[in-house]
Amino acid sequence: MKIDFHNHFYPKEYLKAIKRLKGLNVTKDAYGRIVVEDRGARFLTITKPMYEPEIRIKDMDEAGVDVQILSLSAPNVYFASIEDSIKLAKLTNNIIAKVVEKYANRFMAFASLPLLDVDASLEEAERAINELGMNGFIIGSNIGGKNLDDPSLMPLYEKVSKLDVPIFIHPMVPQYSEVMKEYRLVPIIGFEFDISLAAVRLVFSGILEKYPNLKVIVSHLGGAIPYLWERIENGYRAFPECKEKISKPPSFYLKKLYYDTVSFHKPALICAYMTAGANQLVLGSDYPHVIGDLKRSVTSIEELDLPPEEKEKIFYRNAQELLKRSLR
């Protein structure tokens, strides 16, 4: 059994909305592929499996992936006006829920929330889980430039904690993206900066202490977190402001986070394994983005020199624990 936590589905109606609504620019790259830009930085290349379930299932079969948890990636719904983002979140969740219903043995789904309006997000959270039967939520590493430890988002964490479903944090275009316009640096490097920043702010802000039952999955192997683990610990020891809102060292909270395996690089995967442990890793592919790889997501774990039971945790056992509310 293999459950892919990190992959993305973009309904055709959503892609049409990107072109129709203000906030983003749609263009083509040198290969003739449709590309989406945010503030001049290219970050999304459209591929056919993003909206074609049958192609996706064929690719899953070839890679040996049994189940994917579908989610909407960047730019999510935060690029639109508040009113449009609410409509777009509902539309997208409705469509993805129908895809899951049609292919119930292959797909689950994380809902998107119109987080520019927290009250509307709380309503949509209830609807997505209790009416649509979705399995958790995907949120950006920043919400239109707002950090994830912003006080306005506290009701969201309380709601999700009570619903007992996971939050999957996905990178967004960083606020400092003007230095990343060339060489497609936003998806290559910028995403990793922003996801690292988001996770560390969740730790130092005390959110993970205030809501100890919150289940948080950090994408892209946690960005730089496994490599900066000891530096984060040193910051706690050295700087008083790092102790103001947490009662334990940051490693205590970092070890409660889950990290998907979107890296495919053996030394990086081993670093995350040795730092966070097999209990905190879940399979991820970043499919069908051009920078993702469904087959490598599987083989990169199979090739690790780990006991079979540890690989099972990464492939599906940790997923079963995270999704136990849905699997009851």
**Tokens coding 236:** 């706690």
Query: How much is the mean pLDDT over the chain?
Result: 94
Half-sphere exposure of 236 (CA within 13 A, CB side): 23
pLDDT at 44: 83
- Neighbour-count burial of 256, counting CB atoms closer than 10 A to its CB (0-12 exposed, 13-18 middle, 19+ buried): middle
Average pLDDT of span 54-73: 97
Residue 67: strand, helix, or coil:
strand
> What beta strand segments (E) does 119-176 contain?
137-140, 166-170
Q: Tell me, yes or no, if the pTM score tops 0.85.
A: yes
Backbone angles phi, psi at 319, to 5 degrees: -60, -40
- Neighbour-count burial of 68, counting CB atoms closer than 10 A to its CB (0-12 exposed, 13-18 middle, 19+ buried): buried
Is residue 44 situated within a structural domain?
no
Q: Tens digit of pLDDT for each residue in 224-255?
A: 999 999 999 999 999 999 999 999 999 999 99
Average pLDDT of span 134-151: 97
For the cut 60, the answer to whether the pLDDT of residue 62 exceeds it is: yes
- Which residues in 92-115 are b (16+ Cβ under 10 Å) and which e? bbebbbebbeebeebbbbbbbbbb
Is residue 18 situated within a structural domain?
no
Euclidean distance between CA atoms 121 and 133, whole angstroms: 16
Q: Tens digit of pLDDT for each residue in 247-263?
A: 999 999 999 999 999 99
Euclidean distance between CA atoms 99 and 166, whole angstroms: 20
For residue 259, what is the enclosing H or E element?
strand 258-260
Is residue 33 situated within a structural domain?
no
Euclidean distance between CA atoms 85 and 115, whole angstroms: 8
For the cut 90, the answer to whether the pLDDT of residue 42 exceeds it is: no
Euclidean distance between CA atoms 16 and 46, whole angstroms: 12
pLDDT at 177: 77
Is residue 116 situated within a structural domain?
yes
Amino acid 79 reads F
Closest CA to 257 of 297, 309, 301, 222: 222
For residues 160 and 139, the answer to whether their CB atoms sit within 8 Å is no
For the cut 80, the answer to whether the pLDDT of residue 39 exceeds it is: no
Q: Which domain holds residue 175?
A: 3-8+49-324
For the cut 80, the answer to whether the pLDDT of residue 204 exceeds it is: yes
Say if strands 67-70 and 107-109 run parallel, antiparallel, or are unpaired: parallel
Locus of tokens 């590493």? 141
Q: Tens digit of pLDDT for each residue in 165-179?
A: 999 999 998 888 788
Q: List, as own/partner pairs, every contact residues 160-164 make where C-beta atoms lie below 8 angstroms and the sequence separation is at least 24, other chains included.
A: 160/125, 160/214, 161/211, 161/213, 161/214, 163/125, 163/126, 163/129, 163/325, 164/213, 164/215, 164/325
Euclidean distance between CA atoms 134 and 39, whole angstroms: 32
Backbone angles phi, psi at 170, to 5 degrees: -115, 145
pLDDT at 308: 97
Could you tell me the CATH number of the domain that includes residue 226? 3.20.20.140
Count of C-beta atoms within a 10 Å radius of residue 90: 20
What residues does 69 pair with on adjacent strands?
108
**Please, which pLDDT band fits residue 32 given cuts at 50, 70 and 90?**
confident
Euclidean distance between CA atoms 7 and 292, whole angstroms: 9
Number of domains forming the structure of the chain:
1
Average pLDDT of span 63-76: 96
Q: Tens digit of pLDDT for each residue in 296-314?
A: 999 999 999 999 999 999 9
Is residue 34 situated within a structural domain?
no
Average pLDDT of span 318-322: 95
What residues does 258 pair with on adjacent strands?
217
Is residue 126 situated within a structural domain?
yes
Is residue 14 situated within a structural domain?
no
